[in-house]
Amino acid sequence: MEGDCSSKKKVCVTGAGGYVASWLVKVLLSKGYTVHGTARDPCDEKKNGHLKNLENALENLQLFKTDLLDYEGLCAAIVGCMGVFHVASPVPDNVSPVANPEEKLLVPAVEGTRNVLNACLKAGVRKVIVVSSAGANMVNPNWPMDQDIDESCWTDTEYCRSTKNWYCLAKTIAEKEAWLHAKESGLDIVTICPSIVIGPMLQSTANASSLHILRYMKGSSVRVDNREFPLVDVRDLAKGILMLYENNEAKGRYICSSFGLRIRELVDKLQCLFPDYKYSTSFAEVQQLNSWKLNSQKLQSLGWVFKPLEETLKDVVKDYEEHGLLAN
- Kindly list the catalytic residues: 171
Element (H, E) at 127: strand 127-131
- Please choose, from the candidates 109, 107, 89, 105, the residue with its C-alpha nearest in 3D space to the C-alpha of residue 97: 105
Q: What is the residue-wise DSSP string for 165-229?
A: -HHHHHHHHHHHHHHHHHHHH---EEEEEE-EEES--SSSS--HHHHHHHHHHTT-SSPEEE-B-
Radius of gyration of the chain (CA): 19
Element (H, E) at 13: strand 10-13
**List of E strands, 33-82:** 34-39, 61-65
- Please choose, from the candidates 37, 59, 36, the residue with its C-alpha nearest in 3D space to the C-alpha of residue 48: 37
Q: What angle do CA 288, 139, 268 make, to 5 degrees?
A: 45
